[in-house]
Amino acid sequence: GVLGIAGAGAQGFPTRTITLVVPFAAGGPSDAIGRLVAQSMSQTLGQQVIVENVAGAGGTTGAARVAKAEPDGHTLLIHHLALPAGPALYKSLAYDTRTAFEPVGLVNTGPMALVSKKDFPAKTAKDLFAYLKRDGASVNIAHAGVGSNSHICAVMLSQAVGFKPTYVSYRGTGPAMNDLVGGQVDVLCDQSTTAVPQIEGGAVIGHAVTSAERLAVLKDVPTSAEAGLPALDMTVWHGIYAPAGTPKDRIATLHAALQKAIADPTIVERFAAVGTQVYPPAERSVDAHRKRFLAEIDRIAELMKAAGVAAQ
Ligand code: MLT
């Protein structure tokens, strides 16, 4: 009530449960990263930070939810490259990507891993690229919706190899990976976060990683450059956002709780085990986040233009 609010005062934030919107299905990379960070932030903030999966339209449905939320710091968004990719891929977003969100901080950064179903005829990256070049249209490529990382990676793959992909869209790469393991789709380019355990377990074939160096946890999987496709170079990252207009002192409180989370050795270790890393310390500021976010809007627009992918 009124007394509660008055009593809370400027320092009394957060005053209730915080909702962290994950704009993709449960069981995928954004969900995994979001849940780890939410748990740590709950402890620091002294209020529950609960994850809510609001999936659909390549992550733009969840983003719209947060853009329209009360800007009081109790509704947050964890998102990635798909947030700045939005304007290049969707004609009528429910929000203005450049101004609707207040960056809270970057979380992690890592590569994508190109994987195929276990019994796919091409067993190596080189064989896969040759197969796609020859017969790419017959291959079903899963992704998490237009504009998602997995979609952007598939577009880059089709550009680099030179074939017209046949896409199968999901509400996240959690369900996409399930179907790849089950053999219902052929190929997926997913964040290492969910791909690494499946490759390690032998449930899928790991063809290539999109980083300059091999991953320590996937020593046998070549980089795309080693496999002859240097253009398949992709780095992904997550960041946390609040709705525009959220008071600066609340952003600062949330930013500090996020810093504590990504400095936690348990989180550092759990990220590393799946081939991603906490964001480099020198670039953890809110300003660095804003800069990266805005730069990606232009970069992805150029990439999609070059690939001939128009907004839908
Ligand atoms: C997910 O959590 O499903 C992914 O982040 C989707 C993607 O961008 O590929």
User: In this model, does residue 135 exceed pLDDT 60?
Assistant: yes
Q: Interface pTM (ipTM) of the complex? A: 0.98
- Output b/e per residue, 135-172; b: 16+ Cβ within 10 A: ebeebbbbbbbbbbbbbbbbbbbbbbbebebebbebbb
Q: What pLDDT was estimated at residue 3?
A: 43
Quote the distance between the C-alpha of residue 4 and its chain's center.
Answer: 37
Q: What pLDDT was estimated at residue 11?
A: 61
- Nearest CA, atom 3, ligand 1: 172
Would the CB of 175 count as within 6 Å of ligand 1?
no
Would the CB of 29 count as within 6 Å of ligand 1?
yes
Would the CB of 82 count as within 6 Å of ligand 1?
yes
Q: What pLDDT was estimated at residue 286?
A: 98
Greatest C-alpha distance within the chain: 70
Would the CB of 223 count as within 6 Å of ligand 1?
no
Q: What is the average pLDDT across 205-234?
A: 98
Would the CB of 30 count as within 6 Å of ligand 1?
yes
DSSP letters spanning 77-90 = EEE-THHHHHHHH-
Confidence of residue 1 (pLDDT cuts 50, 70, 90): very low
Rounded to whole angstroms, how far apart are CA atoms 48 and 108? 22
Look up the pTM and report it. 0.95
Residue-wise pLDDT tens digits, 41-74: 999 999 999 999 999 999 999 999 999 999 999 9
